[in-house]
Chain A
Amino acid sequence: MKIWVYIDHFKADAVSASWEAIGAAKALGGDVAAVVLGFGVENLANSAFEYGADEVLLGQDAALEDFRVENYATALSALASDATPDLLLFPTTSRGRELAGMVAMDLESGVLVDVVAMEMDGDKVLATRPIYAGKLLQKTVCNATPQIVTLRGRAFEKPEAESGRSGTLTQVQVTSGDEKSTVEGYAEAGGGVSLTDASVIVSGGRGTSNNPNLTAPDGMSEDEAEIWRAQQGFALIAELAETLGAAVGASRAAVDANYIPYANQVGQTGKVVSPDLYIANGISGAIQHLAGMRNSKVIVAINKDADAPIFKFARYGVVGDLHEIVPALNEAMKARLG
């Protein structure tokens, strides 16, 4: 079986799930070629070899310096219709998802999207993907060639990079077609660990605003005071997150109450995450939120309400005030992690 793995990158920085996809491809068995498209991305070819690719198809063109999905799709579809791989794998990023979708239209195939497990059933990939934000699992196959699959980040193990490993580097001509749109600029997110890549997440909910020992500054309306109190709560959460090298998450309730931006929302209409450790603070555990984090390996719940549904999903629970427990936990973890 001839498998191509698309290496997704932002400004020549590869998304880690691209390397996970190489590992997943090798586990299926077959010849694994990594496809690297862009401009000034030779470094990614070397990394692809180190993560296990046997071959790298490197297509560089100034028109591909910025990722515009139309151009990348035209280039990739042309390569794939010439070389006829059996299977195309992509990481499920915003770029990988839409690129896979467009290539599927060009090649009259279909996409199995955001897959968390794969096995071979004859010459078909039988894929498992969460639907309804993970409330159910769907088993699905693609009855066309090439089969196209996008893989959820952190669902497949990232291979160990083997320093100095190499393989066959093939430079390919790329045709990017008409430019329908232009990237004018980027505003990169400031610091912090991204939720979807995070191996540890510390989250806050409505409970962040319930510190009885805080008095909001004079002159604030009731709503402003509530948001101000919640921000003090989230500051405690951010300190613990920093100690643990974690990303900061939030429940929909906290986002809807304007405690924290939407980018931090975990749940069915936010981000679906599966870190190794998820610490939920002042989050009751609405089904909406649980759907987004229930696949975390170890869940710790801290909540004042002993009946909160989150405790049914947690490995460790503390019935208590997050404003007392979180700073204490931060000190205790600092002492251990140095």
Chain B
Amino acid sequence: MKIVVCIKEVPDSAATLVAEDGQASWGDAPLVINPWDEYAVEAALNQEGDVIALSIGGEDSKIALKHALAMGCKEAIQVSDDALSNMDTQATAKVLSAAIQKIGDVDMAFFGRQAIDGDAGLTPAQTARVLGWSALTLAVSIAVDGDTVKVERSIEEGRETVSAKLPAVFSLVKDYGEPRYPSFMGIRKASRAKIPAWDLAELGIEAPATTVEVVGIENPPKRDVRVEMIDGGSPAEIAEKLAERIMAEKIL
């Protein structure tokens, strides 16, 4: 059985983002594997079978793929085609599904819960829909038994246990457990790895239509706050003054 983990690169979460000419700019902050995807790689590596890391994109997508290889994935595949720019999640799901089908004999496809750039969190469920597989998203734990799987999911109201037949799509949340660090040997192996690039012709599909159009990207309005520092006196006196201010905001 083969296991696929779908990943991408994003600007580091500590990056300062600004809108420049309608585009997101992160200055010289580094691109890294999407932090949520590290949990997906971890979960994929914990299954029985060979793990293949999959990413769509240009040269930068190799940052994520090499990280996944260094963590222990057996292979990495990049889907790269000039026709694939500004894709929405719907198009991404279709391309990933085609690649998963080309890989063949895949029983489990893993994703991070969302990417920290677009914050959509749609691709795992949408890929499952295209493939006709169960979407077992926001997983905290995963237990495979033959061709069935039991997953504990994190939802707003608490935890939900779901069982399903494989194949299935999984997305992971932080409660799954800390992802492993790349090993020294893994990093060496990743740096030497040749990563095959597939274009759309190899996947046997046309570029999927994108229905969601980004009209612009803006900086959020500046918060017009002047901080009022509350000081003077004992903690009780400070607390009294602060309580007065909070009550005066009329939000309680």
Residues of B with C-beta under 8 A to A104:
90, 122, 126, 211
Interface 1/0s, chain B 115-148, versus A by CB < 8 A? 0111111100110111001111110000000000
A66-88 CB contacts (< 8 Å) to partner B: 68-70, 73
Question: Which of B35, B217, B243 is close to A139, meaning CB atoms less than 8 Å apart?
Answer: B217
Asked if B24 and A277 sit within 8 Å, CB to CB, the answer is: no
Asked if A98 and B122 sit within 8 Å, CB to CB, the answer is: yes
Asked if B242 and A105 sit within 8 Å, CB to CB, the answer is: no
Residues of A with C-beta under 8 A to B220:
130, 134-137, 294
Q: Is A27 an interface residue (CB 8 A)?
A: no
Q: Is B88 an interface residue (CB 8 A)?
A: yes
Stretch at the interface among A35-43, A205-213, A316-324: A316-324
**Interface size of A by Cβ–Cβ distance < 8 Å?**
95
**Known contacts A131-B118, A313-B223: A139-B236 contact under CB 8 Å:** no
Residues of A with C-beta under 8 A to B228:
315-317
Q: Is A185 an interface residue (CB 8 A)?
A: yes
Q: Is A247 an interface residue (CB 8 A)?
A: no
Q: Nearest residue in B to A268 (C-beta to C-beta)?
A: B13
Minimum CB–CB distance for A4 against chain B, Å: 18
**Known contacts A101-B129, A102-B129, A180-B165: A300-B246 contact under CB 8 Å:** yes
Interface 1/0s, chain A 265-301, versus B by CB < 8 A? 1001110000011000000001110000010011111
Q: Nearest residue in A to B251 (C-beta to C-beta)?
A: A276
Contacts between chains A and B (CB distance < 8 A), count = 262
Question: Which of B119, B150, B158, B236 is close to A331, meaning CB atoms less than 8 Å apart?
Answer: B236
Residues of B with C-beta under 8 A to A109:
90, 211
Question: Which of B90, B119, B155 is close to A131, meaning CB atoms less than 8 Å apart?
Answer: B119
Q: Nearest residue in A to B112 (C-beta to C-beta)?
A: A269
Interface 1/0s, chain B 12-50, versus A by CB < 8 A? 011111110000100000000001100000000000000
Residues of A with C-beta under 8 A to B165:
180-181
Q: Is B247 an interface residue (CB 8 A)?
A: yes
Asked if B213 and A313 sit within 8 Å, CB to CB, the answer is: no
Asked if A136 and B217 sit within 8 Å, CB to CB, the answer is: yes
Give the complex CA separation of A182 and B150 in angstroms: 10
Residues of B with C-beta under 8 A to A332:
236, 239-240, 242-243
Give the complex CA separation of A337 and B18 in angstroms: 42
Please give the residue numbers on chain A whose beta carbons come within 8 Å of chain B beta carbons, in ascending order: 10, 15, 68-70, 73, 93-95, 97-98, 100-102, 104-106, 108-114, 126, 130-144, 180-189, 194, 196, 199-200, 244, 261-263, 265, 268-270, 276-277, 286-288, 294, 297-301, 311-321, 324-325, 327-329, 331-333, 335-337
22 contacts between A and B (CB under 8 A): A98-B135, A100-B122, A102-B126, A113-B120, A131-B117, A131-B118, A138-B218, A140-B212, A143-B211, A181-B168, A184-B162, A185-B160, A200-B251, A288-B13, A297-B251, A311-B227, A316-B230, A318-B231, A318-B238, A321-B235, A328-B235, A332-B239
